[in-house]
Amino acid sequence: MRTHLTLCVLVAASSLAAQNTFPLPASAVPGSTNSTENTAPFLAPMRMTQSLVTNRNTLNAQGLPSTFGLWDMSDFDPTGRYIFTPSEVGTGAGVFRYDTQTGQMVVLMVGNTSLPRSADPTTWVATNDNFARFDPCTFTPFGTVLTGEETTGGRLFEVTNPMSNGPFNVRWLTQMPAMSHEGVRFDAAGNLYTVDEDNSGCIYKFVPTVPGDLSAGQTFVLSIDGYAVDPNAAPNETWNSTANRLTTRTGAAHWVALTGPNGQQITTQNPFLYATVNAGRIAADEVMGTPFGRPEDLDKNRLANNNECLYFTATSENTVYGIELTGSNTATVRTFCNFNTINLATGADVNPLQNDPYTSPGSANPVFSSPDNLAVDHFGNVYVIEDGEPNGGDIWKCIDADRDGVAEGMGIFVSLGISGSEPTGMIWHPTNPYRFIVNVQHPASGNDATWQFDTRPYAGSNGDLQLLTGVNAVSTTGPGEFVKTALANSVVGFQTVSPNGSLNGQPFAVLLQPVSTFAGATPFLPPLWMSPFQAIIPLVGGPIGQFHTVLPFNGSSTAVQVPAFLAGISVIAQSIGVASNGSLVCSDAHEIVLR
């Protein structure tokens, strides 16, 4: 009777709770969050929190250069204390460092707007030059920071002492060909990869002569094997030219030398002409570099076979590609996700009206449009960040459950609703795997901002016990997946595993407790999310202190069907295990929202 009464009260109390869980069903309408720009500019799944890190108005009071708008692809230092952010303005661009503990800002680079951009490395002085459209900002494995110009004849720069109090030492990486730089990432061997953002843009690899020293090395360009031998291939034309539409731009590939072993020119076109021409792009055409439709960001991951995989967005193609690194100079290129990928919220294509990369995605809501930035979390999930209005502003989480480099589905993770803006620079915190930051770039207010998201609402004891849940689907856990929605007659699965095996064969239980959806759960004795003052239902095992079931070596799985009369409440689920020393180990808790 007490349990039935509790459930009835919770149903009444939860009737107003209607926030969506991941995947979000639709994008934020442009302007829909203008009134909460300074408190909650994004639509986010239930229990995911967003908080302001800093914004342009705040830093202006500290002397942020007046040109430093258009905050783009930020990065953390390895501790997560400092954030490095580039300014993508057309003149007077630069980079600043923000201390998340003190709230103080320091400028590492700033362009002199009264000067032209230098094209001559022999006379160049970092403090006496202008910079344009700094887009990437990457903290390297060597303790330095890279930034580059996403513009004609773009240059790549390295701040060699970014953690100092200044003066900052900046060097121009003059053995990197001129191109419109955006994404910059490194593989495990310390090789640098970058893209050329153009509708005939290529992907490049730079191998340092001395590992860790980016001042000298050899540059290669990605060439798809089938494309390189195709008589229709026209590398000097756009990706969607009449000729290039007849070619193949996926499959086996090679990294073809663009410069000599010592970084010297080997093509007819000198790739090292800066500021006025994208000389690297012209040189890449000579060696059959494969063109893509506006490559923008890069990020990396590991596949199930343990090979590294680079992902890059091709904005004009509405596609994200994956480059599996299969050897020192070989690769396999696949489509990771595109307009035909399944939308986890609808079960249909993300863009039902688009069947090829040459067709407009339309303006339905939701729609997958203009993928721009990328981020990979600590668990290997890939996030795709769209350009802004009119069809953008979404961050999509992609699911590649078998880690073969092709996403089975994708869903809207968060969505930005500020007029005139786009989300940029999403990056996961280096020491907190459930936290990320993202920038609000060029909002109509002009107040660029950095926001922090926390995605772990019900933290466990960080032990070797994991609970996964699924609603009419495979059980999952991770950012955005601790809270799920279930309808009447849905089948909810509960899986408990000990990833390192230390709790296999030990007593355990899966416990459930009904709670108000409006309020969610509060910990009684953290990290236990069950209150002794409410009904606790042992789904597997027994009540706390009376566990009579041991965890199988391949984990435990069970499922229940949701009865209709429970609609309107939430159920908290948590796995509890008993370690060999007798201590309790608590998994992260999950919330199932019954509707």
Residue 365's pLDDT is 84
pLDDT at position 19: 84
Tally of domains in the chain: 2
**Are 530 and 474 members of one domain?**
yes
Residue 346 lies in a domain: no
In CATH, what number is assigned to the domain containing residue 505? Answer: 2.20.130.20
Q: What is the predicted pLDDT for the residue at 392?
A: 58
Q: E-strand spans in 326-472?
A: 330-338, 342-343, 371-376, 382-386, 394-399, 409-416, 422-428, 435-441, 449-454, 466-471
How many CB atoms sit inside 10 A of residue 546's CB?
A: 10
- Residues 563 and 448 grouped into a single domain: no
Q: What is the pLDDT of residues 382-441, one digit of tens each?
A: 999 999 765 559 999 999 999 999 999 999 999 999 999 999 999 999 999 999 999 999
pLDDT of residue 389: 63
Question: 552 and 472: one domain?
Answer: yes
| The pLDDT of residue 15 | 36
Residues 486 and 553 in one domain: yes
126 inside domain: yes
What is the rounded distance in angstroms from the CA atom of residue 466 to the CA atom of residue 463?
Answer: 8
Residue 306 lies in a domain: no
Note whether residue 47 is domain-resident: yes
Asked, for residue 315, whether it belongs to a domain, the answer is no
The neighbour count for residue 178, using CB atoms within 10 Å, is: 28
Based on the number of CB atoms within 10 Å of its own CB, is 308 exposed (0-12), middle (13-18) or buried (19 or more)?
Answer: middle
Query: 465 and 445 in one domain?
Result: no
Are residues 510 and 535 located together in one domain of the fold? yes
In a domain, 352, yes or no: no
Q: What is the pLDDT of residue 390?
A: 56
Bridge partners (DSSP) of residue 334 are 322
Residues 202-260 have pLDDT tens digits of 999 999 999 999 999 999 999 999 999 999 999 999 999 999 999 999 999 999 999 99
The answer to whether residues 566 and 474 belong to one domain is: yes
Rounded to an integer, what distance in angstroms lies between the CA atom of residue 481 and that of residue 256? 41
Report whether 423 contacts 385 (CB < 8 A): yes
- Same domain, residue pair 421 and 504: no
- Residue 366 pLDDT: 87
Together in a domain, 57 and 158: yes
First and final CA of the chain: distance in angstroms?
A: 23
Residue 142 belongs to what domain range? 42-172+417-455
Angle made by CA atoms 276, 282, 288, in degrees to the nearest 5: 165
Helical ranges in 202-289 per DSSP H: 225-228, 279-286
Could you tell me the pTM of the whole model?
A: 0.96
Q: In the listed set 434, 455, 476, which residue is the last one of a domain according to the structure? A: 455
Q: Are residues 517 and 437 in the same domain?
A: no
444 in any annotated domain: yes
* Residue at 215 is within a domain: no
**Among 382, 260, 244, which Cα is nearest to 312's?**
382
Q: Does one domain contain both 562 and 475?
A: yes
Q: Which of 398, 429, 455 is the last residue of a domain?
A: 455
Domain ends where: 409, 437, 455? 455
One domain for residues 58 and 136? yes
Which parts of the chain register pLDDT below 70? 1-18, 389-392
**pLDDT per residue as tens digits for the range 439-492:** 999 999 999 999 999 999 999 999 999 999 999 999 999 999 999 999 999 999
